[in-house]
Amino acid sequence: MAFKPAERSSSVLDIMKHQLLSERRFFAEFIGLDGEPAPTALMPGELTPSAFCRRQEELCRPRLDRMAARHQDWWLEVVPFFDVERQRIWVFWRRVLHTAHHRTQLSVYLRLLGKPVPSSYGPTADVTWQGADPTRSVDAAGRK
pLDDT of residue 8: 96
142 within a domain of the structure (yes/no): no
pLDDT above 90 (res 140)? no
**CATH number assigned to the domain comprising residue 42:** 1.20.120.450
What are the tens digits of pLDDT across the range 5-53?
999 999 999 999 999 999 999 999 999 998 899 888 889 999 999 999 9
Q: Is residue 138 one of the residues assigned to a domain? A: no
What mean pLDDT comes out for the span 99-128?
89
| Number of domains comprising the chain | 1
Q: Please give the average per-residue pLDDT across 66-75, as a whole number.
A: 96
Quote the pLDDT of residue 132: 81
Containing domain of residue 49, as a range?
12-120
Examine the pLDDT at 136 and tell me if it is beyond 90: no
Residues 6+ apart with CB under 8 A from 89: 75, 76
Q: Is residue 69 part of a domain?
A: yes
Is 49 a domain residue?
yes
**HSE of 60, CA atoms in CB hemisphere, 13 A:** 11
Residue 144 within a domain: no
